[in-house]
Structure 1
């Protein structure tokens, strides 16, 4: 007997001010824009608990098609808190980690979209080179390159 009926994780969501900037950043990282839509009405608010809401979303998908990132721009209700500059030891959602083929090339391309290295690229044993970066609006992501 299985403990759950879990099939997969569909996506991770990030709230942003500018969908266009966030889309461009994640496209440069290698995700593809799967679709963009307005999510509005009472039905959506009954899911989120926010009442009658209006949100523009963009769904980004990884090249393998298995992972998605949902970028959301709230129009109504307004955003009430801002965690974009919170340090990594803050409670709640903080970052998404991506595997890349070449960390140096990836960083150079993301710097052109305003990314900033949090501290430095480090070696984890002989397995990975990895780092955290802040993208548009302070979004915290991790990137890691396998060394094998």
Structure 2
């Protein structure tokens, strides 16, 4: 039997209270809405373990078409936990990071949509200008503008 190979990372899922607000916010960052639909029925619950569920989803894709965020608004069952205000050192999923071309301009637009900077905008190794923001519904998002010729991977230790 042939060993399975990883082909790509397809998407990251984020559960939101308002799908419309989340779509609008991620479009402001620059993602494109690829599709929107309602997923319901027993088959869906078998995959997630939530039994019979109804969830409206929107698939958002980066302009290069390689990275997606699946935004989900659960109708049934209702969302039960809220980790959106957890600090940066919390266990589990934490944030999504986007590379952008003009961080200052984007921040000015996103603050008009209710985003706030978590700490400060900083320079990392003369490679990136970056920050964390709390975006729509308090979702933690990293933004990085590459300002140097190297990438962060160039300076990370390799195993």
1:98 aligned to 2:66? Answer: no
Residues 37-74 of structure 1, C-alpha deviation per residue, up to 9 Å, x if partnerless?
A: 00000000000000000000010000000100000000
Aligned length: 147
CA distance in 2, matches of 1:41, 1:119: 42
Distance 1:96 1:75 in 2: 24
Deviation sequence 1:81-129 (CA, Å, 0-9, x none): 0001000111111100000001001101111111000010000011000
Match of 2:144 in 1: 144
- Tell me, what secondary structure is at the counterpart of 1:72? strand
Give, in whole Å, the separation in 1 of the partners of 2:6 and 2:60.
Answer: 22
Q: Which runs of 5+ in 2 are unaligned?
A: 149-159
Looking at structure 2, the residues matched to 3 and 144 of structure 1 have their Cα atoms a distance apart, in angstroms, of: 36
* Structure-2 residue corresponding to 1:41: 41
Match of 1:120, SS state, is coil
3-state DSSP of counterpart to 1:85: coil
1: CA distance, partners of 2:109 / 2:33: 18
Unmatched segments (≥5 aa) in structure 1: none
Q: Distance in 2 between matches of 1:78 and 1:66?
A: 30
1:122 aligns to 2:156 (yes or no): no
- Corresponding residue number in structure 2 for 1:76: 76
Question: What are the superposed Cα offsets for residues 13-46 of structure 1, whole Å, 9 maximum, x if unpaired?
Answer: 0000001110110000000011110000000000
Whose Rg is larger? Answer: 2
- Paired residue secondary structure (1:21): helix
- TM-score normalised by structure 1 residue count: 0.97
